Amino acid sequence: MQHLPSTPPIIKPATLLFLVGLLTLVCASFYSLDIQWSLLFTADAVRSSVEFLRGFTPPALTWPFLLKVAQGMLETLSMSALGTGIAFTCGIMLAMPASGRFGAAARWVMRLALNILRSVPELVWALILLIAAGLGPFAGTLALAVHTTGVLGRLFADALENMPPAPETTLRINGVQPMTAFFYAALPQILPQLMSYTLYRWENNIRAAAILGIVGAGGLGQMLKYHLSLFQMQQAASVIIAMLILITLVDGASFWLRRRLTSH
């Protein structure tokens, strides 16, 4: 005679606790921010918003201005590409110790360093680096490189740790030098993954590069900030459209490259 298992509760106590906590967090957030929602939707506010938005049309399309926008696009593109490239190189170098190849202590220290690099966003790095590198795209490039090094370094280290170790160990046991074993057995296994991470970060970085200029680090963001603060809305509209075009182009290029590089 078998007893039926007791019916599971509709909702587990832990889940209930979590939901209550979540609800409290949401309510506390709205309550403490104390936003005057009713003021946002008065006829007056709506009218002024519509007027503000109408100022954006038509986008400025004179040739000299378009040329300047194109230059800003090139600057933004270079910042993102160079930042990602530098981060790729530094990321691989830092991933070696961070994946525990030089002992547990080195791994721990390097992981901590990478986490710190990673958790400070590009924009904050840009602000700090402005002091060393001066206003302009160079500070932005460095900021992207520093933050992305943290992100890629950690992803690369994880990739190195998670790959099947047998091929490399086999070579090492048979007396092959560590460098050689790495290049013959480890790198070919993870290279497609590394490339795909890097291209994904490039997509992120083009978005970041587009806005870094808001703190003075060059590119389209700087133009946007400039024109918005002069209330030249039509120029600002063109810059925003240029950002969207650039982001779409880079997304497309990265998608294409990723398919080329990772499908062997």
Residues that bind other proteins (CB under 8 A): 18, 25-26, 28-30, 32-33, 35-36, 40, 48-49, 52, 71, 74-75, 77-79, 81-82, 85, 115-116, 119-121, 123-124, 127-128, 131-134, 136-138, 140-141, 176-177, 179-180, 182-184, 207, 210-211, 214-215, 218, 221, 224-225, 228, 240, 243-244, 247-248
| Residues 156/201/119/208 CA torsion (nearest 10 deg) | 160
**Which CA distances in Å does 51 have to 28, 54, 56, 203?**
34, 5, 9, 34
Provide the minimum distance between the beta carbon of 37 and other proteins in the complex, in angstroms, as a whole number: 8
Look up residue 130 and give its two tokens.
Answer: 């402005």
Provide the minimum distance between the beta carbon of 106 and other proteins in the complex, in angstroms, as a whole number: 21
Nearer to other proteins, 1 or 173 (CB): 173
Provide the minimum distance between the beta carbon of 54 and other proteins in the complex, in angstroms, as a whole number: 12
Provide the minimum distance between the beta carbon of 2 and other proteins in the complex, in angstroms, as a whole number: 28
Nearer to other proteins, 2 or 190 (CB): 190
Q: How far apart are CA 91 and CA 98, in angstroms?
A: 10
Over the Cα atoms of the chain, what is R_g? 25
